[in-house]
């Protein structure tokens, strides 16, 4: 075309020829040429080229190309289909049908594949949903993706610096890429109603700008406004929907009424709609009145800063602007800001620790696991494909293109992966439903706080993620083995088909992968086995005899989190003073038979420290600690076994360190070798510090549940109460219905210290049950992971053995014909197949022993037991392929081999 006069320039000529196939296409090309010739006679310069470009860019050109090429393809496939026997099924549907038949024909492979993929895809999907709550949560706020949080990060100590009120003032004045910048301080008052009821609520002292960033209109009244922040303005509060419903019974005339929040009285000016709990699980909002710029740097309360990206701005731009501002602040205030760096991120992430958690690494690890699993299933598919060499060869010889065969094998894998993904979605839904119930129970118990935006649901993003995983699985499971198989030239395939084997070697990588999986399984199994006795054993004997149901514990906390350690010490002392007063009032109540103030109670987790016994007969060991008052053992109905109780001489309120201690039975047995404990002396050790003063043991008491989760760590010491350390907890025993007494307890607490929060009012039984439940779930999680890992590694071993059998079928037949016994053949096969598994077991045993030594998660005995169990499981996995090998008939094999 290019050589003739009037021909299109070569690239365009080729393009149009390619685009327009068939007779009609040729005519279109000739018409274009004619028209181009006319254009060239009329115009000079670039115009003819521009004309060609315009023709190429026309939508009608591409529509025509699509239609002509489609018609061309149909024409081409008609005779080929007729030659194959005239199936009228479209090719893609035929592939699906074939794939489905293959899955039915190999039920073991299908079950293993679907199950492994379900578990892995399900795990990955559940983790995706879980981590999305941190990385990219969905807040029910207008344009929530433009909401940002700004924090001060101390690079010297690698921690967050929350005393950023002054910096907030500077940012608000100077930042241009972030608008509506506001700040809030966590606020946890007791809400006290006119009839004396008291409820701890969560809220914020918040600037009107931070409140307005959410762009949510109140249900009633008005939001917080700037005038509320002025000194001397009326104390106002905006209530959350739930508080309004519970405390004011949804009364629409609530505006203008007053409510007590701790010691201060606030006028209700607004009620927010249902579901609005911004910024973080809030129920009440009061104005933040501190003047940021009047506050010295690194002074004032602990603030969080929130804003909205300006219309034309982006987070990168804001980051750059903030970094520049941070440098300037560091230069202007080197004494306070030298190591402080402001950083900006999405609001939810700054509130919920997202950037500091390794979620991307977790996702990458799960993806890697998926690839390993798919590689296992892919190895099985490859082993099966080896038996299909004749089929593939015949199709190739009859003219099927390599792409056509690849497509068919890929579609088979897609069906397998899709079934796996469906199973995974179901599994993820089920496991997340379970997790939602577990977390809800912990939230009710007050031991877990999840942000209000938390969701355990597979949303659209998660389903897209699963779809991506499905494609990835299909590629690894089907496409890669198919590519490896079809890479052989037809001539070689014909030879292989004649011999009855596919023979391309099995990759070292797959063997190494199998070894690693087996190793991981052994390690996990060892951890799970080591936990088993604790969980399956009887309930903690040290709790027997305690008045678990009738004894209630509770904790007192200050309304606002203290900003400095000095403030913390003051707050602790003040809180203890309130607790002691509350204890006095409680003791006067007729239903209450005992009251005690202690740092920890039976069933709760106790702090642990290293203790040295005078005389040094036994090496120092970790012991549990509790600070108690003299009424503790009476309240727990636990008489002393020897010696005396603490009395008023021991409780030193002048801050002097304690000089006495009471040991429990396990302490005496393990650290004093059951010798007489009274009068012996102990002291605390701390790494890098001087040992503490010697304490004299004055009494011995039975084990009182200091370590429910680990009976091995039951040894403990009781120290006299000092009334200055966190946490401030107390317990009381009631006669009759304890839950009916809780409102009275809250009323008393509100009278004594309206600014304090009364938290976690629970019976000792509830504490122990909650601890055991958490432990049980953790164990189930480990067990599930172990079983999954075990299943995966067995799949790997099965795949290796299967492949070896299919690869060596002719050889085995010949050896049988030459007189080899079944045992000899089984041994040859198993030694080869078991080599990676044995390597894995050795690795796993080392891992298990290492974990046992470092983290106390097992022992050599457990590791050996688990390794033997794994060996048995691996042998079991080899049985089916080995039986298949021994079933090879010599005549067939020899015929195929020759």
Partner 1 sequence: MRLGELQQLVMLAVARLGKDAFGGAVREELVRVAKRKVAVPTVYVTLVRLEEQGLVESTEVPREEGLGGRARRVFHVTPAGRRALDESRRTMARMWEGVARS
- Using the rule CB under 8 A, which residue among 67, 73, 78, 673 binds partner 1? 67
- Using the rule CB under 8 A, which residue among 13, 15, 52, 55 binds partner 1? 55
**β-sheet bridge partners, residue 621:** 611
Q: How far is the CB of 475 from partner 1 (least distance, A)?
A: 36
Question: With helix as H, strand as E and coil as C, how does 268-300 read?
Answer: EEEECCCCCCCCCCCCEEEECCCCHHHCCCCCC
- The piece of 61-69, 273-281, 639-647, 883-891 that touches partner 1 (CB under 8 A) is 61-69
Closest by CA position to 832, among listed 810, 813, 868, 808: 808
Burial (CB < 10 A; 0-12, 13-18, 19+), residue 73, is: exposed
Q: Name the residue nearer to partner 1 (CB basis): 68 or 862.
A: 68
Helix (H, G, I), strand (E, B) or coil at 313: coil
Q: How far is the CB of 3 from partner 1 (least distance, A)?
A: 14
Q: How far is the CB of 322 from partner 1 (least distance, A)?
A: 54
Q: How far is the CB of 452 from partner 1 (least distance, A)?
A: 55
- Using the rule CB under 8 A, which residue among 1, 7, 24, 494 binds partner 1? 24
Q: Name the residue nearer to partner 1 (CB basis): 67 or 327.
A: 67
Q: How far is the CB of 40 from partner 1 (least distance, A)?
A: 15
Q: Name the residue nearer to partner 1 (CB basis): 20 or 168.
A: 20
Tokens at 803, concatenated: 């492949």
Q: How far apart are CA 668 and CA 549, in angstroms?
A: 29
Q: Name the E strands within 549-671.
A: 551-558, 592-598, 608-613, 621-628, 640-643, 660-664
Q: How far is the CB of 36 from partner 1 (least distance, A)?
A: 10
Q: How many CA atoms lie within 13 A of 809 on its CB side?
A: 27
What DSSP letter does each residue of 808-867 carry, written as one string? HHHHHHHHHHTT--HHHHHHHHHHHHHHHHHHHHHHHHHHHHHHHHHH----HHHHHHHH
- The piece of 17-25, 358-366, 378-386, 635-643 that touches partner 1 (CB under 8 A) is 17-25
Q: Name the residue nearer to partner 1 (CB basis): 71 or 886.
A: 71
- The piece of 55-63, 412-420, 599-607, 835-843 that touches partner 1 (CB under 8 A) is 55-63
Closest by CA position to 356, among listed 125, 134, 149: 134
Q: How far is the CB of 806 from partner 1 (least distance, A)?
A: 49
Q: How far apart are CA 113 and CA 384, in angstroms?
A: 13
Q: Name the residue nearer to partner 1 (CB basis): 11 or 275.
A: 11
- The piece of 66-74, 394-402, 642-650, 711-719 that touches partner 1 (CB under 8 A) is 66-74
Sign of the four-CA dihedral 638, 642, 648, 653 = negative
Prior bond to 357 cis, omega within 30?
no
- Using the rule CB under 8 A, which residue among 8, 28, 210, 885 binds partner 1? 28
- The piece of 18-26, 145-153, 398-406, 553-561 that touches partner 1 (CB under 8 A) is 18-26
Q: How far is the CB of 7 from partner 1 (least distance, A)?
A: 14
Closest by CA position to 420, among listed 471, 482, 354: 471
Contacts with partner 1 by CB under 8 A: the residue count is 20
Q: How far is the CB of 20 from partner 1 (least distance, A)?
A: 8
Measured from the Cβ of residue 165, the count of other Cβ atoms closer than 10 Å reads 26
- Using the rule CB under 8 A, is 79 a contact of partner 1? no
Q: Name the residue nearer to partner 1 (CB basis): 60 or 565.
A: 60
Cα 326 to Cα 151, 457, 731, distances in angstroms: 11, 39, 49
Pairing of strands 147-154, 303-309: antiparallel
- Using the rule CB under 8 A, which residue among 7, 37, 39, 64 binds partner 1? 64
Q: Name the residue nearer to partner 1 (CB basis): 66 or 100.
A: 66
Prior bond to 603 cis, omega within 30?
no
Burial (CB < 10 A; 0-12, 13-18, 19+), residue 498, is: middle
- Using the rule CB under 8 A, which residue among 8, 68, 405, 794 binds partner 1? 68
Site for partner 1 in 29-48 (CB under 8 A): 30-32, 34-35
Q: How far is the CB of 69 from partner 1 (least distance, A)?
A: 11
- Using the rule CB under 8 A, which residue among 27, 296, 443, 457 binds partner 1? 27
Burial (CB < 10 A; 0-12, 13-18, 19+), residue 97, is: middle
Q: Name the residue nearer to partner 1 (CB basis): 63 or 440.
A: 63
Non-local CB neighbours of 476 within 8 Å, separated by 6+ positions: 371, 374, 375, 378
Q: Name the residue nearer to partner 1 (CB basis): 64 or 96.
A: 64
- Report DSSP state, residue 7: P
Q: Name the residue nearer to partner 1 (CB basis): 79 or 679.
A: 79
- Using the rule CB under 8 A, is 15 a contact of partner 1? no
Q: Name the residue nearer to partner 1 (CB basis): 68 or 206.
A: 68
Q: Name the residue nearer to partner 1 (CB basis): 75 or 257.
A: 75
Q: How far apart are CA 671 and CA 838, in angstroms?
A: 42
Sign of the four-CA dihedral 802, 808, 814, 818 = negative
Burial (CB < 10 A; 0-12, 13-18, 19+), residue 464, is: exposed
Q: How far is the CB of 138 from partner 1 (least distance, A)?
A: 45
Q: How far is the CB of 80 from partner 1 (least distance, A)?
A: 21
Q: How many CA atoms lie within 13 A of 325 on its CB side?
A: 23
Q: How far is the CB of 804 from partner 1 (least distance, A)?
A: 55
Q: Are 610 and 622 in contact (CB under 8 A)?
A: yes
Q: Are 8 and 1 in contact (CB under 8 A)?
A: yes
Q: Name the residue nearer to partner 1 (CB basis): 31 or 637.
A: 31
User: Buried (b) or exposed (e) across 521-550, using 16+ Cβ within 10 A?
Assistant: bbbbbbbbbbbeebeeeeebebbeebbbeb
Site for partner 1 in 840-869 (CB under 8 A): none
- Using the rule CB under 8 A, which residue among 4, 10, 26, 360 binds partner 1? 26
- Using the rule CB under 8 A, which residue among 3, 5, 23, 674 binds partner 1? 23
Q: How far is the CB of 68 from partner 1 (least distance, A)?
A: 7
- Using the rule CB under 8 A, which residue among 52, 61, 167, 393 binds partner 1? 61
Non-local CB neighbours of 514 within 8 Å, separated by 6+ positions: 376, 793, 796, 797, 799, 800, 836, 837, 840
Q: How far is the CB of 1 from partner 1 (least distance, A)?
A: 11
Residue with tokens 């293109």: 401
Q: How far is the CB of 31 from partner 1 (least distance, A)?
A: 5
Q: Name the residue nearer to partner 1 (CB basis): 31 or 892.
A: 31
Pairing of strands 284-287, 203-206: parallel
- Using the rule CB under 8 A, which residue among 3, 42, 45, 60 binds partner 1? 60
- The piece of 28-36, 171-179, 382-390, 516-524 that touches partner 1 (CB under 8 A) is 28-36
Q: Name the residue nearer to partner 1 (CB basis): 72 or 811.
A: 72
- The piece of 54-62, 252-260, 590-598, 700-708 that touches partner 1 (CB under 8 A) is 54-62
Q: How far is the CB of 63 from partner 1 (least distance, A)?
A: 5
Q: How far apart are CA 490 and CA 354, in angstroms?
A: 54
Q: How far apart are CA 808 and CA 812, in angstroms?
A: 6
- Using the rule CB under 8 A, which residue among 63, 434, 685, 855 binds partner 1? 63
- Using the rule CB under 8 A, which residue among 58, 78, 328, 644 binds partner 1? 58
Q: Site residues (CB under 8 A) for partner 1?
A: 20, 23-24, 26-28, 30-32, 34-35, 55, 58, 60-61, 63-64, 67-68, 71
């Amino acid at each position: 075309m290019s050589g003739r006069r009037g021909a299109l320039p070569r690239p365009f000529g080729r393009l149009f020829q390619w685009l327009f196939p068939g007779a009609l296409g040729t005519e279109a090309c000739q018409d274009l040429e004619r028209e181009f010739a006319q254009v060239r006679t009329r115009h000079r310069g670039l115009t003819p080229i521009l004309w060609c470009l315009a023709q190429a860019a026309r939508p009608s050109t591409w529509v025509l190309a699509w239609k002509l090429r489609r018609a061309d393809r149909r024409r081409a496939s008609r005779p080929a289909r007729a030659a194959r026997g005239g199936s009228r099924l479209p090719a893609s549907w035929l592939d699906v049908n074939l794939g489905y038949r293959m899955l039915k024909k190999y039920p073991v492979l299908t079950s293993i594949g679907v199950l492994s993929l379900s578990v892995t895809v399900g795990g990955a999907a559940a983790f995706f949903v879980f981590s999305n709550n941190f990385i990219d949560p969905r807040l029910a706020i207008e344009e929530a993706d433009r909401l940002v949080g700004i924090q001060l990060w101390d690079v010297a100590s690698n921690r967050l610096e929350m005393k950023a009120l002054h910096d907030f003032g500077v940012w608000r004045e100077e930042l241009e890429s972030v608008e509506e910048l506001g700040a809030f301080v966590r606020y946890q008052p007791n809400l006290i109603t006119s009839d004396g009821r008291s409820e701890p609520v969560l809220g914020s002292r918040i600037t009107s700008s931070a409140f307005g960033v959410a762009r949510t209109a109140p249900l009633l009244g008005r939001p917080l406004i700037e005038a509320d922040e002025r000194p001397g303005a009326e104390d106002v509060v905006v209530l959350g929907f739930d508080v309004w419903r519970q405390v004011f019974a949804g009364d629409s005339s609530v505006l203008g009424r007053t409510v007590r929040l701790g010691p201060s009285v606030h006028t209700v000016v607004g009620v927010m709609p249902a579901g609005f709990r911004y910024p973080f699980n809030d129920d009440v909002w009061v104005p933040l009145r501190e003047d940021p710029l009047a506050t010295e740097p690194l002074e004032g309360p602990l603030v969080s800063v929130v804003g909205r990206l300006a219309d034309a701005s982006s987070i990168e731009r804001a980051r750059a602007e903030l970094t520049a501002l941070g440098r300037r602040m560091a230069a202007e205030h080197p004494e306070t800001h030298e190591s402080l760096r402001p950083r900006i991120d999405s609001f939810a992430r700054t509130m919920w620790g997202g950037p500091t958690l390794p979620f991307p690494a977790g996702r990458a690890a799960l993806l890697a696991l998926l690839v390993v699993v798919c590689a296992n299933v892919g190895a099985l598919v490859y082993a099966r494909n080896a038996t299909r060499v004749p089929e593939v060869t015949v199709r190739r010889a009859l003219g099927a293109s390599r792409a056509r065969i690849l497509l068919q094998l890929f579609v088979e894998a897609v069906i397998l992966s899709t079934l796996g993904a469906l199973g995974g979605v179901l599994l993820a839904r089920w496991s997340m439903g379970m997790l939602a119930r577990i977390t809800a129970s912990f939230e009710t118990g007050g031991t877990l706080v999840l942000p209000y935006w938390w969701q355990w649901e597979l949303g659209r993003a998660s389903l897209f993620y699963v779809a991506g995983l499905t494609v990835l699985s299909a590629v690894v499971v089907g496409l890669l083995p198919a590519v490896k198989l079809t890479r052989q030239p037809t001539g070689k395939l014909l030879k292989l088909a004649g011999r009855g084997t596919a023979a391309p070697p099995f990759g070292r990588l797959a063997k190494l992968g199998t070894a690693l999986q087996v190793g991981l399984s052994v390690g996990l199994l060892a951890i799970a086995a080591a936990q088993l006795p604790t969980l399956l054993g009887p309930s903690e004997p040290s709790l027997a005899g305690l008045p678990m149901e009738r004894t209630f514990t509770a904790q007192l906390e200050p309304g606002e989190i203290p900003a400095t350690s000095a403030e913390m010490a003051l707050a602790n002392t003040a809180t203890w003073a309130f607790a002691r007063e509350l204890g006095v009032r409680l003791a006067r109540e007729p239903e209450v038979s005992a009251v005690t103030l202690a740092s920890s109670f039976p069933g709760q987790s106790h702090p642990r420290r290293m203790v040295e016994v005078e005389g040094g007969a036994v090496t120092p060991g970790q012991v549990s600690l509790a600070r108690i008052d003299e009424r503790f053992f009476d309240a727990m109905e636990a008489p002393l076994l020897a010696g005396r109780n603490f009395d008023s001489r021991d409780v030193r309120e002048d801050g002097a360190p304690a000089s006495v201690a009471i040991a429990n039975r396990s302490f005496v047995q393990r650290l004093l070798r059951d010798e007489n404990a009274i009068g012996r002396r102990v002291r605390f050790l701390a790494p890098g510090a001087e040992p503490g003063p010697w304490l004299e043991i004055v009494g011995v008491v039975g084990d009182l549940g200091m370590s429910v989760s680990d009976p091995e760590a039951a040894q403990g010491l009781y120290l006299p109460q000092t009334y200055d350390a966190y946490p401030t907890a107390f317990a009381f025993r009631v006669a009759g219905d304890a839950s009916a007494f809780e409102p009275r307890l809250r009323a008393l607490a509100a009278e004594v210290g309206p600014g304090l929060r009364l938290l976690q009012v629970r019976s000792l039984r509830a504490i122990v049950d909650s601890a055991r439940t958490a432990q049980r779930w953790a164990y189930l999680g480990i067990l599930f992971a172990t079983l999954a890992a075990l299943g995966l590694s067995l799949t790997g071993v099965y795949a290796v053995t299967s492949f070896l059998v299919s690869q060596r079928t002719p050889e085995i037949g010949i050896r049988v014909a030459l007189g080899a016994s079944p045992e000899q053949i089984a041994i040859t096969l198993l030694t080869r197949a078991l080599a990676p598994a044995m390597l894995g077991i050795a690795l796993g045993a080392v891992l298990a022993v290492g974990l046992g030594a470092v983290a106390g998660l097992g022992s050599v005995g457990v590791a050996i037991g688990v390794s033997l169990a794994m060996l048995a499981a691996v042998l079991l996995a080899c049985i089916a392929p080995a039986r298949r090998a021994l079933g090879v008939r010599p005549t067939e094999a020899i015929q195929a081999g020759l």
